[in-house]
Amino acid sequence: MAETKSGALTRRGFLKTTAALAGVAAAGAAAPTLTALAAEYGTGQVAGEGEQLVCGVCRGNCFGQCKINVHVRDGKVVKTSRRPFNSWPEGGAWDRICLRGLSHPYTVYGERRIQYPMRRAGERGSGQWERITWDEAIKEITDEWKRIQAEYGDQAVAYTRGSGNLASINGVGSPLFNVLFNKINATQIKIARDQANTRGINRVVGSLGDWVLNSTQDYINSKTVFVWGANITDAQAQDWPHVANAVEAGVKLVVIDPIYTQLASKADLWIPIQPATDAALTLSMMYVMIDEDAINKPFMKDHTVAPFLVRSDTGKFLHMSDLGVAPREVPVEAQATNIDAARSSSVNYGATGASAGAGTKLIDPYAVLDADGVVKAVEDATDPQLEGTYQFGDVECATAYTLLKEEVMQYPPEKASDICKIPAEDIVELAHIALDGPCIHRLGWGSNSYTNGVHAAHAAITMAALTGQIGYSGAGTGACNWNSGSGTNMLLPNMTAAKNPLISALFLPEIMRTGKYMGKDHPIKALYVYSGNPITNQVNTNEYLNDILGNLELLVTADYTYTDTVHYSDIVLPACHWFEAEDIVLLTGAQCYEYNAKAIDPLYESKTDSDILRLLAAGMGYPDLFPLTDEEYCHKILDTPALAARGISFDELKEKEDLYYKSTKPWIPWAGNSFMTPSGRMEFYVEEPELQFDMGQEYDRDREHLPRYFNPTEAYEGSPQWDKYKLILLSERPRFRVHSMFSDNKYLRELDPEPTVKINPADAEARGLADGEYVEVYNDRGHAVAKLVYNDAIRPGCMVYPKSWQMSQHKAGCWSELLTSAYDPVGVNESYFDNLVEVRAWKEA
Ligand SMILES: Nc1nc2c(c(=O)[nH]1)N[C@H]1C(S)=C(S)[C@@H](COP(=O)(O)OP(=O)(O)OC[C@H]3O[C@@H](n4cnc5c(=O)[nH]c(N)nc54)[C@H](O)[C@@H]3O)O[C@H]1N2
Ligand SMILES: Nc1nc2c(c(=O)[nH]1)N[C@H]1C(S)=C(S)[C@@H](COP(=O)(O)OP(=O)(O)OC[C@H]3O[C@@H](n4cnc5c(=O)[nH]c(N)nc54)[C@H](O)[C@@H]3O)O[C@H]1N2
Ligand code: SF4
Ligand SMILES: [Mo]
């Protein structure tokens, strides 16, 4: 923990710690002037005497992936600073480094750095360790894996990761992990987070990746940017300069967030919405649009499924074949070869899949009601009707828009005002602003964190179907433009998929309790964790410790620092820090590749994850599984024909350090309105909901057809827990950490020494709690002790904590103990905010 008792950073403390690491004399050293620091920040590349500047990439999961200078002197990292991008010369708005990035030397040489392989010496979690050699560690792990596989089956060995290193060889974008674990037929446990937005949006427009929206540089071309539940200033550092540029140029900023965040303080309009009610607000905005007859009918007719007839018996669209019309032959569209335009290839207008010969395919057209009252193929109708019903034999059909309208009309502003606890006039005003486009609607992870989050996103993208504001400059609806999924899939063609079906981390407790998955025996007895700290970051810690760890025979963690997950492991492997190996990083927000050169040799006995994999492979009997060196893998990943066409190769990247990979700057998804859905249109009516993971869980198919508002699991007034607990517990992205990373960084702990939780003073006073006292936040699942902070910015009825303090840093309990493991069966997403708690004074025992 930090040396200082209070959060105040003394200049003496600052100089002392800086000097200790930089290895310069502290006594009497004059502090650099702010002007000098600003000049240095501007150029980014001031090498101190005897220093070598190495091109590095800071790459925890804060989405920044900042290019930085690693200052090396005598083989040691002495400092980090900003290093300008080459791909983005205009204005330098991509160049940046934050406090965390500036603090790296304290992580590289941190006191809690794992120095050598360790075996647990006492009870699991006792913190007692013995040092072992690499040979011993690898032999023990692989002997155990072999025993477990022989006893329980191959897939009883599992592996999982978090988001600790966004690189392509040693990080989470690496194909190498799957190479080993496929070879030994292991099970991948997939983290279950950040998916509700994606599920709600992609099911309407198709998938270009996980988090897709216009590049942030395009925001300046919109009239209003709506931010729904994201704190861009703190949590998307890479985007804030572009948002700020837009705001300065006169673009209106509307922030919808229960909390008066830093971003809200920059907004023209802040809407303090009741948590978990975004879908009700959006449906009500659509009510106003429809009520005022202000929807974009031509767009809806041409680019959405609005006029398609839906069969009441099957819930599916009516096709001409239903009416006895044989499928017709049409020319096949050219396959997209462009790496960022694969979307057009999957637009197949209801293709039957059967090929009718070279260059053609059979399609079974969607049926619509034409203006003359006759049902026709959509391609043949002169004016497809948006509204109407049609009796097809015994089967009633209605247009998709008719069904949507029925749903939307249940949310007049007065009613939504009660649900969202905001004035009805504000809802009307929001609808008017949204109509006066072009607008960007950027969805953060606010509504994503409740079990009704898929529908909040589904509603948002449906509103774009009503306004037609999508696919052109300044107009779009989506999650932030991080776009990782498509980035990884399209740009890492050698990426090796896991061989066995991925299992959601949310299913793990049940699998561990029962030994069964989808009705079949599937015990999991060994878990290998890399680049992640699930015990701190996953929901419901007690369930994790009891049900998962309690049934696990071997937990192995590879990390460079001592985390909660390390603490509960049986064997710990010392991984390298990012600066200790060469790697490639995909800067997805800016759509460019970055090069990370090796700055220093691996410290202590640490090894790169790739070398760890090589040793594990040999231990499992496959010494030749990785025939290439890491450098050769870098070439393999980047030296492909598709990238060569863009002038991208590994050698080129090494030379230029960063390379933009999209065909246009800024990038605008869904340009030309060609959506990656079966119909090629925006399918706001969903025929068949796609589950994020399918474990045979039950779900309500009818509910999923359209965007709907319903209560989340716990975080609402009147929920089953309401009698006991009346505060909704939210987290915020910590400025001083990236999740749990940097939590043991001495420099940052001076600024942010211990867990805190914010509360509206009225809620605190009602409970007799004073500002600054230690409190226990609790519910049936667990508790966490933290220092209480009075804060008027917190919506009454809520509490907010900066996330991901390690358990060992709390006086008792930890935040994740309080979090529900309930999930929506479609989104299968951890619901970090769907929790009720109470708070009381805490006295140290
Ligand atoms: N410094 C730092 N940056 C990070 C990270 C980090 O750990 N540290 N983590 C990164 C990761 S992995 C992610 S996923 C992103 C997340 O990025 P953000 O989503 O921007 O992060 P949060 O701070 O969780 O912000 C969510 C916001 O939603 C609000 N909110 C809560 N409930 C609701 C609701 O029902 N409706 C609405 N409209 N708003 C609501 C919260 O008050 C909060 O301001 O941040 C990334 N950036
Ligand atoms: N309460 C609450 N909890 C949340 C959330 C929330 O909003 N509220 N958000 C969730 C979200 S969206 C996310 S994305 C998760 C993040 O959860 P995690 O992905 O688990 O995040 P980190 O704490 O960053 O853990 C990364 C670990 O990887 C290690 N690491 C870094 N680089 C390397 C490397 O090269 N090799 C190896 N072997 N290890 C490395 C780091 O030291 C660190 O311990 O947290 C989730 N948890
Ligand atoms: S922590 Fe994130 S924002 Fe800060 S320097 Fe690193 S990548 Fe950039
Ligand atoms: Mo995340």
Cβ atoms 174, 168 nearer than 8 A: yes
101 Cα nearest atom in ligand 3? 5
Contacts of 226 (CB under 8 A, 6+ apart): 254, 256, 430, 433, 434, 439, 440, 441, 442
pTM of the model: 0.93
- Give the class (CATH, top level) of 36-108: mainly beta
Task: Cite the residue boundaries of each domain of the chain with CATH code 2.40.40.20.
Answer: 727-841
* DSSP code per residue over 14-40: HHHHHHHHHTS--TTPPPPPHHHHHHH
pLDDT score of 588: 67
Lowest-confidence segment of 322-336, 351-365, 528-542, 816-830 by average pLDDT: 351-365
- Ligand 1 atom 37, closest CA: 229
The rounded Å distance from CA 169 to ligand 2 centre is 18
Q: Measured between alpha carbons, how far is 291 from 133 in angstroms, rounded to an integer? A: 72
Q: Would you state the pLDDT for residue 342?
A: 34
CB within 8 Å of 222: residues ≥ 6 apart: 246, 251, 437, 438, 439, 440, 474, 475
Report the C-alpha gap between 342 and 207 in whole angstroms: 10
> What is the number of the ligand closest to the CA of 64?
3
Q: Where in the chain is the domain with CATH 2.20.25?
A: 36-108
Ligand 3 pocket test: which of 58, 65, 95, 102 has the largest number of ligand atoms within 8 Å of its C-beta?
58
Tell me what pLDDT residue 482 has: 63
Residue 8 has pLDDT above 50, yes or no: no
- CA angle (97 as vertex; 96, 99 as ends), nearest 5: 145
pLDDT band (50, 70, 90) for residue 17: very low
What tokens does 168 get?
A: 């392509």
Specify the domain boundaries for CATH 3.40.50.740 within the chain. Answer: 118-193+486-586+600-656
What pLDDT score does 172 carry?
86
DSSP labels, 292-322 = TT-S-HHHHHHHBSTTBEEETTTSSB-BGGG
Q: Give the position of tokens 């790169």.
A: 608
Residues 462 and 683: their CA atoms lie apart, in Å, by 8
Write out the H or E segment, with its range, that includes residue 160.
Answer: strand 157-161
Place of tokens 């009718």: 356
Q: Is the CB of 487 under 6 A from ligand 1?
A: no
The structure tokens listed for 92 are 């330098």
What whole-number distance in Å separates Cα of residue 225 and Cα of residue 441? 6
Helix (H) or strand (E) holding 554: strand 554-559
Mean pLDDT lowest among 7-16, 180-189, 284-293, 553-562:
7-16
> % helix / strand / coil in the chain, to the nearest 5?
30, 20, 50
Q: What is the pLDDT of residues 772-813, one digit of tens each?
A: 999 999 999 999 999 999 999 999 999 999 999 999 999 999
Q: Ligand 1 centre and the CA of 232: distance in Å?
A: 8
Q: What is the pLDDT of residue 483?
A: 54
Question: What is the 794 CA–ligand 1 centroid distance (Å)?
Answer: 15
Could you tell me the two tokens for 454?
A: 């898929």
Q: Is pLDDT of 733 > 50?
A: yes
Question: Is 445 touching ligand 1 by the criterion CB < 6 Å?
Answer: yes
C-beta of 730 in contact with ligand 1 (< 6 A): yes
Three-state SS letters, 315-341: CCECEHHHHCCCCEEEECCCCCCCCCC
From residue 399, give the alpha-carbon distance in Å to each of 425, 468, 682, 730. Answer: 31, 18, 14, 40
Ligand 1 within 6 A of CB of 709: no
Residue 24's pLDDT band (cuts 50, 70, 90)? very low
Altogether, the residues listed in the chain come to a count of 845
Ligand 1, atom 39, lies closest to the CA of 229
Instruction: Report how far ligand 3's centroid is from the alpha carbon of 229 (Å).
Output: 21
Which tokens go with 635? 């070439």
For residue 365, pLDDT over 80 is answered with yes
CATH of domain 118-193+486-586+600-656: 3.40.50.740
- In the reported structure, the alpha carbon of residue 662 is separated from the centroid of ligand 4 by a whole-number distance in angstroms of 24
Token pair belonging to 234? 């703190």
- Taking Cα atoms as reference points, which of 416, 423, 415, 276 lies closest to residue 717? 276
The answer to whether 23 and 3 are in contact (CB under 8 A) is no
Residue nearest to atom 12 of ligand 1 (CA): 61
Is 404 strand, coil or helix? helix
pLDDT of 91: 56
- Number of Cβ atoms within 10 Å of the Cβ of 426: 18
The amino acid at residue 255 is V
Q: Determine the distance separating the centroid of ligand 3 and the alpha carbon of 245, expressed in angstroms.
A: 20
Reduced 3-state DSSP string for 139-155: HHHHHHHHHHHHHHCHH
The tens digit of pLDDT for each residue in 106-156 reads 999 999 999 999 999 999 999 999 999 999 999 999 999 999 999 999 999
Minimum mean pLDDT among 119-133, 340-354, 452-466: which range? 340-354
Ligand 2 and 740: CB distance under 6 A: yes
Residue 510, H or E segment: helix 508-514
Query: Is the model's pLDDT at 221 over the cut of 70?
Result: yes
Nearest atom in ligand 2 to the alpha carbon of residue 165 is: 32
* Contacts within 8 Å (CB) and 24+ apart, 146-154: 146/620, 148/525, 148/526, 148/553, 148/554, 149/184, 149/185, 151/525, 152/523, 152/525, 153/521, 153/522, 153/523, 154/184, 154/185, 154/186
The answer to whether the CB of 258 is under 6 A from ligand 1 is yes
- Tell how far the Cα of 672 is from the centroid of ligand 2, in angstroms: 37
How far apart (Å, rounded) are the C-alpha atoms in residues 661 and 198? 23
Q: What is the pLDDT of residues 275-312, one digit of tens each?
A: 999 999 999 999 999 999 999 999 999 999 999 999 99
Look-up of token digits 């999650």: 479
Confidence of residue 30 (pLDDT cuts 50, 70, 90): low
Model pLDDT, residue 347: 28
Paired residues of 390 in beta bridges:
397
pLDDT in tens, 660-712: 876 667 788 899 898 999 999 999 999 999 999 998 999 999 999 999 999 99
Q: Are 551 and 544 in contact (CB under 8 A)?
A: no
pLDDT band at 589 (very low <50, low <70, confident <90, very high): low
Distance CA 342, CA 212 (A): 14
Ion ligand 4, residue ranges at CB < 5 A: 194
Q: Is the CB of 235 under 6 A from ligand 1?
A: yes
Which residue in 150, 164, 88, 795 sits closest to 536, CA to CA?
164
> Rounded to the nearest 10 degrees, how much is the dihedral formed by the CA atoms of 272, 276, 278, 280?
-110
Residue 765 dihedral angles phi and psi, to the nearest 5°: -65, -40
Distance CA 218, CA 246 (A): 9
Average pLDDT score, the chain: 89
Distance separating alpha carbons of residues 401 and 405, to the nearest angstrom: 6
- Determine which helix (DSSP H) or strand (DSSP E) holds 245, and give its type and residue range: helix 240-248
CATH T-level topology, domain 727-841: Barwin-like endoglucanases (2.40.40)
Q: Residue 813 carries which DSSP code?
A: B
Quote the pLDDT of residue 237: 85
What number is the average pLDDT over the span 162-176?
90
> How far is the centre of ligand 2, averaged over its atoms, from the C-alpha of 213 (Å)?
24
Rounded to the nearest angstrom, the distance between the alpha carbon of 700 and the centre of ligand 4 is 27
**273 touches ligand 1 (CB under 6 Å):** yes
For residue 650, pLDDT beyond 80: yes
How much is the average pLDDT of 388-416? 97
- 755 in contact with ligand 2, CB cutoff 6 A: no
Q: CA angle, corner 743, sides to 738 and 746, nearest 5? A: 125
Name the percent of the chain lying above pLDDT 70: 89
Phi-psi region of 238 (alpha: psi -120 to 50; beta: other; left: phi over 0): alpha
Lowest mean pLDDT segment, chosen from 97-101, 356-360, 402-406, 769-773: 356-360
| Across 185-194, 492-501, 586-595, least confident range | 492-501
Q: Is the pLDDT of residue 522 over 90?
A: yes
DSSP state of 815: G
Ligand 3 site-directed mutation target among 41, 66, 579, 745, most atoms within 8 Å of CB: 66
Ligand 1 proximity of 504 Cβ (cutoff 6 Å):
no
